[in-house]
Structure 1
């Protein structure tokens, strides 16, 4: 009897450790600060950018040619941050897997872009019911991490009829103007874009900024006014940055769009609780 109990206990421990290991997955970061993870779509593995600002999952044309794509009769019309309209057909993922964890009922779009060895973009769609932790210190992703007693900021969820999902939070610029900013891990590191409409409200003179015309991957050109912002705060004053490099962008469809790395080194995005928890 004792031997059987001992065997059961060992098996339970091994199962627990196995589940704990499977709940974590390593990531790499490229030169621009994008988080690169491995995932399987329709049982084909690829390299994907983890992009909290993408809205929906997307694969690039070259990778799509490796898959048997199950096209639906549905489509999604969205806009990139600088205004380009994207009219995208939707495909059912017959399998969607990260680090041996399966995510059900996922869809993706096919976008005609070529980013070298990057095969597509993973959005927040798989994580509606799964808290997602990005650990920049140890370069790993953790699923379902406990967040007891951690600091946090509130987020707002933009759910486009279940087909696309973005997250936002409120911040203050120069401690005077409260705006809502898209939180976009796909922007890389230390990326701070704000609508050029805000410059007048902040009493900023465009002549004091460097005007740079920038053409997007979809050939649309927008003027970027590049310079310094005195101060940025979260509305609960948990985080404060001073003297940061920013761009005020003509035609930006959001009040603001920032990367997420400035929030902390270990971040848990909990969509159900509408919070980002900050451990480090």
Structure 2
């Protein structure tokens, strides 16, 4: 699983404040220049700004925000996670009271916190919070909409259906995947990650050879070393190049062509991709293990 604490530092880009919608079923968001989705939520009567991250696995607050909360309970057991790069992270888990996310209200929620600070960001909200509630990310209206059964039925009649696979870990974290065909050759299961950042497509380095990528060709392939933001002793080797096509296996018209890709050594998945490009509206129906995409 991936726990994305620092969100690649891209969030240092400036953003503007935004107001909560009157319609509690529509949660407004700001789409940051980095491609991340910024939302508001209230926990224990404290409002904060959070990145909505479908690849995070677990909801994580900053230490500064966590200290503002009065009603928190430390759990006896912890959780060991792995960032997508393979870096191990050992987490303490807490129960926090009164989690409000638009019209969704939970008396308590399981979270963790980490000692990082990014201006204007109070943490990451994971997909786990919404696993039992269908919702739509509407990039045109810039709202995250909690869908009623009637609305969901209407969407199903016209949207493209993209099957997803759920990675549940001890009922504490949730990440979703779908199959995509790369260069009309490999059919890989990729994590769908709203927190990856703009135009991010990452593949495991074991697919360099099958995709005929020659890392010795320095004119076409750039090699970089990226240190972890959490542990400077941990670094990833990354090869950056271009590939021809990436298309959803079940919906080939959902595709991207001539795109920049990062091959990451030690990646724990086949790959990771951002999701904003899939469609103008993306409805998550996790009970039926389906994304409903409207382009």
| TM-score, with length taken from structure 1 | 0.90
Determine the C-alpha separation between the residues in 1 that align with 2:74 and 2:215.
47
The one of 141, 156, 171 aligned to 1:148: 156
**CA pair 168-104 structure 1, distance change in 2 beyond 3 A:** farther
Determine the C-alpha separation between the residues in 2 that align with 1:207 and 1:247.
15
Structure 1 residues 55-112: Cα deviation after superposition (integer angstroms, max 9, x where no partner): 0111011111111221111211101111111111111121110124303542100111
Determine the C-alpha separation between the residues in 1 that align with 2:37 and 2:83.
19
Pair 1:168-2:183 in alignment: no
The one of 279, 283, 289 aligned to 1:274: 289
Question: After the TM superposition, which residues 1-280 of structure 1 pair with which residues of structure 2 at under 5 Å, given as runs?
Answer: 21-68=23-70, 69-144=72-147, 145-146=151-152, 147-149=155-157, 150-208=159-217, 209-218=221-230, 219=232, 220-236=234-250, 237-280=252-295
Structure 1 residues 224-265: Cα deviation after superposition (integer angstroms, max 9, x where no partner): 111101111111223122100111011111110010112111
Determine the C-alpha separation between the residues in 1 that align with 2:107 and 2:208.
44
Greater than 3 Å deviation, 4+ residue runs = none
Give the equivalent residue in structure 2 for 1:12: none
Residue 263 of structure 2: SS of its match in structure 1? strand
Which shifted more, 140-149 or 79-88?
140-149
What's the CA shift for 1:20? 9.0
| TM-score, with length taken from structure 2 | 0.85
Residue 175 of structure 1: SS of its match in structure 2? coil
Gaps in structure 1 of 5+ consecutive residues: 1-18
Determine the C-alpha separation between the residues in 2 that align with 1:170 and 1:155.
8
Residue 209 of structure 2: SS of its match in structure 1? helix
Determine the C-alpha separation between the residues in 2 that align with 1:254 and 1:279.
27
Residue 97 of structure 2: SS of its match in structure 1? coil
What's the CA shift for 1:113? 1.3
CA RMSD of aligned residues (A): 1.5
8 Å Cα contact 1:58-1:122 kept in structure 2: yes
Give the equivalent residue in structure 2 for 1:3: none
Determine the C-alpha separation between the residues in 2 that align with 1:42 and 1:105.
9
